[in-house]
Amino acid sequence: MSQQWPEKVIFCEVGPRDGLQNEPYTLSVERKTALIEGAADAGLKIIEIGSFVHPKAVPQMADTDEVARTFRRTQGVEYRALVANLKGVERALASGVTKVKLTVSASESHAKANLNKTPRELIEGFKECTAFARANGAEVSGAISTAFGCPFEGKVPPSQVREIAGRMHDLGITELSLSDTTGMANPRQVFDLSSMMMKEFPDVRWFLHFHNTRGMALANIVAGMQAGVIRFDGSLAGLGGCPYAPGASGNIASEDMIHMFSEMGIETGIDLGKIITLAGQLRDWVGHADSAVLKAGTCADLVPLTAAKKQR
């Protein structure tokens, strides 16, 4: 029996937040704004513009308020931001953000290292966050970090992920991301956990968020599609990492993922050429990238070369 691939996938660009939060220096507001506007111009319909967290914890995100007030919004694009507590929600809404994302780790060790609270304590605090957001007309989504593995505890049992998802779901959150924070996931694990979570929570819109630490992110995306997931995060130029997760390296490069979808005949609605150009600009700004497409070009780039050889 042949695999039934999705006709279309939904893509979220997390570069302005997850991609930049681990860089040794902070991009200017002007460059962050250009990154967000460039992603929208390329056809991205969901963009994570930054995070509203304590500036001492993640100094690269200290200017997210100004970024949110500055960039030009494109109609039909969802702009969301990561928040950790009620203060973050208040800042986000005051800056014009209308969708916030709450994140909690499936691992107690990582939760304490990241936010100095247990997962249960964090979710308890989310009650006032979700109530305030909804009372003020904002949407709420969620993310479960270290869903596939923890740098302190190793493999995370699926039952722990299911428990966290259930608690988030009880808060009325019906959009959740399974996040591979340190790139520990493998395709079989992704297929099994994604299949289980979709069966347990059929009304949830599931996203998958992979880091390419061990080179398995694209394979994990394929496994996620095989399980029925159609929503994925990526980061321009393959930037990213978590300051509180040892060994966490970049996200899967957006341009690599979109290129793969294009080659598979799966629609994204995104202009690959514009994304590659934007990723190259970001690479020049920060001085590095982890992107196969930026190194080798697209498969389509090889066609003229082949034709030229035949003419000789």
Q: Which residues are catalytic?
A: 242
Structure tokens, 209: 């968020």
If we measure between CA atoms, which residue out of 24, 75, 72 comes closest to residue 49?
A: 72
What are the respective helix, strand and coil percentages of the chain, to the nearest 5?
Answer: 45, 20, 35
CA distance 199 to 53: 33
Q: Which two three-digit tokens encode residue 185?
A: 């996931």
| 3 state DSSP class of 80 | strand
Identity (one letter) of the amino acid at 184?
M
Torsion-angle region of residue 192: left (phi > 0), alpha (psi -120 to 50) or beta? alpha
Report how far residue 38's alpha carbon sits from residue 15's, in angstroms, rounded to the nearest whole number: 12
* Distance between CA atoms of residues 209 and 251, nearest Å: 8
